Homo-oligomer: A and B are copies of this chain.
Amino acid sequence: MSELRKEPVLQRWVVVMKDHQPRPLERCPFCPGSESETPPEVFAIRPDSTRRDTPGWTVRVVPNKYPFLRIEEEPAKRAYGLYDRMNGVGAHEIVIETPEHVQHFATMEISQLAGVLNAYRARMLDLRRDTRFKHIVIVKNHGPNVTALPHPHSHIVALPIVPRRIDEELKGTFNYSQFHDRCIYCDIIGQESSRKERMIAETDLFASFVPFASRYPYETWILPKKHSCDFGQISDAEIADLAKVMRQVFSCIRVALNDPHYSLALHSSPLQEQYRPQYHWHFEVRPRVEVVHGFEWATGLFIHSIPPEEAAAQLKAACEKVGD
């Protein structure tokens, strides 16, 4: 069971899990043959000749056995003195990205990576039919320091609130569009595409670069060039192109930084009454090469010593080494 609590000063929600004790695993629950170790699949890419929850799949999505939010609950918002709390209602699913226990976005077949993106889209479209959910987050962690299970997987989390970071991006996007009547992300893509100094990979449909004011060294964004607020609306052709760009970006990161731990996050518009056409969906990648000291925590002011242009140059040089 978990609970959402609101920080009264900053007005931001925090998830407090109770009785969270996943048991140690004897074998990988995500490998083919272990299908019964997970809850029944909610999506899979598999030949028609294979049965649900048996081997043969190439991508498989299952509810998380140890979710930090549960679909069975009602939010039940309530006061506690001057504080606010609500039940941890939500959904928490796992995308098992490949049957292979050891694999990487940098080395995966492009068609396999496209399958993962397909699974993201399919689950986003399905989960949003539950109108209790205000936002869907997709996050992937790679590397032993950031995930307990080595088998490649991503998390899809449907939330009863719009999380702080997305809300801040919506506000920034809205303010800019009020002032300029343009999308700030479209303008950023324009500037990065013309100056190239921070660009890592670019096609007709997508651009990937180190942002001008990256918070973390080697932070990398991947955005569609055509304005769209909603990853759920991505076309098959765009998925095919995005898979290529992602493989190239992850190859750069893997080679330049010696297979670092990293986190990947999809930022897409919230849902229902909070759907915002002004927003521009994108992926953010954070290679875990830095140590976050106390200053960032204390102030929210991030400091690092790799200028984004230098980071982009290193990543690009690695790209050129591995080729396309």
A33: Cβ under 8 A from any B Cβ? no
- Interface segment among A35-43, A56-64, A137-145: the answer is A137-145
Interface residues of A in 268-309 (CB under 8 A from B): 284, 286, 291-295, 297-308
A297 in complex: contacting residue of B15, B161, B286, CB < 8 Å: B286
Specify which chain B residues have a CB less than 8 angstroms from the CB of A299 in the assembled complex: 137, 139, 159, 163-166, 265
- Interface segment among A44-52, A111-119, A183-191, A248-256: the answer is A183-191
Q: How many A residues face the partner with a CB closer than 8 A?
A: 75
CA distance A149 to B184 in the complex (A): 42
Contact, CB under 8 Å: A17 / B172:
no
A264: Cβ under 8 A from any B Cβ? yes
This chain's copy number in the assembly: 2
A146: Cβ under 8 A from any B Cβ? yes
A168: Cβ under 8 A from any B Cβ? yes
Shortest distance from the beta carbon of A115 to any chain B beta carbon, whole Å: 21
- Interface segment among A93-101, A210-218, A233-241: the answer is A210-218
A5: Cβ under 8 A from any B Cβ? yes
Contact, CB under 8 Å: A294 / B264:
yes
A263: Cβ under 8 A from any B Cβ? yes
Contacts A9-B168, A16-B304, A139-B295 supplied; 11 other A-B pairs, CB < 8 Å: A6-B213, A8-B172, A20-B305, A83-B212, A139-B294, A159-B299, A164-B299, A164-B300, A263-B293, A267-B298, A292-B292
